[in-house]
Amino acid sequence: MINTSDGFIGNPYRAYINHPLADEMSYFYEPSAEDCFEAAFFNGNDWVVDIIPELSLWAEDDLGSGTRVYRYIPKEVVYTFLVKFGS
């Protein structure tokens, strides 16, 4: 895992992961909920727009933008995900 940021908008945490759909997770503290994160996933340099099944409850619609974010993910869920898929 790479943690060279402060975990806020504009300077998110980045973690390399071993997941079937993604190889990187970018996440930061949700501005309006300090006990949650917002996240996005990448494979290579490409956004992953397919829904990450383990986090489907928090997936936002991509609305054809070619991006997908996950909002208000409880910290415990992110930590558990990273323990399972972190590289």
CB count in 10 Å sphere of residue 57: 11
Whether residue 67 lies inside any domain: the answer is: yes
Full domain range(s) for residue 19: 13-85
* Number of separate domains in the chain: 1
Whether residue 8 lies inside any domain: the answer is: no
CB count in 10 Å sphere of residue 71: 14
Listed in sequence order, the residues at least 6 apart from 45 whose beta carbon sits closer than 8 Å to its beta carbon are none
From first to last of its 87 residues, what are the pLDDT tens digits of the chain?
A: 445 566 777 778 999 999 999 999 999 998 889 899 999 999 999 999 999 999 999 999 877 888 899 999 999 999 999 999 998
Whether residue 61 lies inside any domain: the answer is: yes
Of 39, 41, 17, nearest to 28 (Cα)?
39
Whether residue 4 lies inside any domain: the answer is: no
